[in-house]
Amino acid sequence: MRESPGSGTAPVTRRLDGKVALLFGAGSSGPGWGNGKATAVTFARHGARVVCIDLTREAAEETAEIIRREDGAATAAACDATDSEAVAGLVAEVVAAHGRIDVLHNNVGYAQMGGPVELDEAAWHRAIDLNLTTCFLTCKHVLPQMLAQRSGAIVNISSVAAIRYTGYPYAAYYAAKAAVNNFTLGLALQYARDGIRANAIMPGLMNTPLIFQQISGQYADAAAMVAERDAACPMGRMGTAWDIANAALFLASDEAAYITGVALPVDGGLTGRIAS
């Protein structure tokens, strides 16, 4: 079901009732609805108590306040997800406050333009850290709690760039997102008998604030970017943050209890084409 961004109406079937969800990257990179922001609101509308985490508290608090205005349950926290000590401290605070962690959602990511020649080593490492190491560190510190409670759902945001050349020159992003997929598969199989599921979502060409910051420089102007990306999609339009949020909701919920190790394209059919 697709819920309108500002309706504030709780769905009849609340798929995450009573669950505690940690969402890293819950803020938006600009005005509008980014994937993490829409997912946090969707989780809350389905009954989850959402811990909205972002690099800045202001970004996290904006999302948490939207949830609270809809009478949902949310707290905000600032955390650098590339800092192991900071992540460990935050996870400990959440466990102390709520006693459990049912859903871990990793939405931190960054598309650094440049191939191997153009990228300097620092930019390469930063792209790997933001897209991949963040998943490793959050799992490292959340998994002990999930193992103790013998339950949990992990959703990592990857990209169709993990499996396809998308036309953009971002070598580090391709490498990092491919690694996210295989990291997720390894998690899924290692912990399958412990009641823990792990899945990835691969967004295709999405119309979110992020593309206006990280992608638009590859086009003549923003309008040209939107037109070309819309035209490249088999459905004739880019997806939205709510498409990602609804996929994440399903994978985080008990309705997906027998689904693990999947990298799910949410791309309007883009990766089904023989040629990109």
List 110, 173, 174, 191, catalytic entry: 173
CA distance 114 to 118: 5
Return the H-helix or E-strand segment holding 53: strand 49-54
Task: State the distance between the two ends of the chain, measured CA to CA, in whole angstroms.
Answer: 29
165 residue type, one letter: Y
Active site residue 173: yes
Three-state DSSP class for residue 6: coil
Nearest to 177 by CA among 127, 219, 139, 140: 127
Please, what's the b/e burial string for 23-51 (b: 16 or more CB within 10 A of its CB; e: otherwise)?
bbbbbbbeebbbbbbbbbbbbbbbbbbbb
CA-closest candidate to residue 56, choices 66, 64, 48 = 64
Q: Between β-strands 263-266 and 73-78, what pairing exists: parallel, antiparallel or unpaired? A: unpaired
Under DSSP, is residue 114 helix (H, G, I), strand (E, B) or coil?
strand
Single out the residue of 77, 13, 3, 83 nearest to residue 42, CA to CA.
3
Helix, strand or coil, per DSSP, at residue 200: strand
Q: What single letter denotes the amino acid at residue 163?
A: I
**Which residues are catalytically annotated?**
173
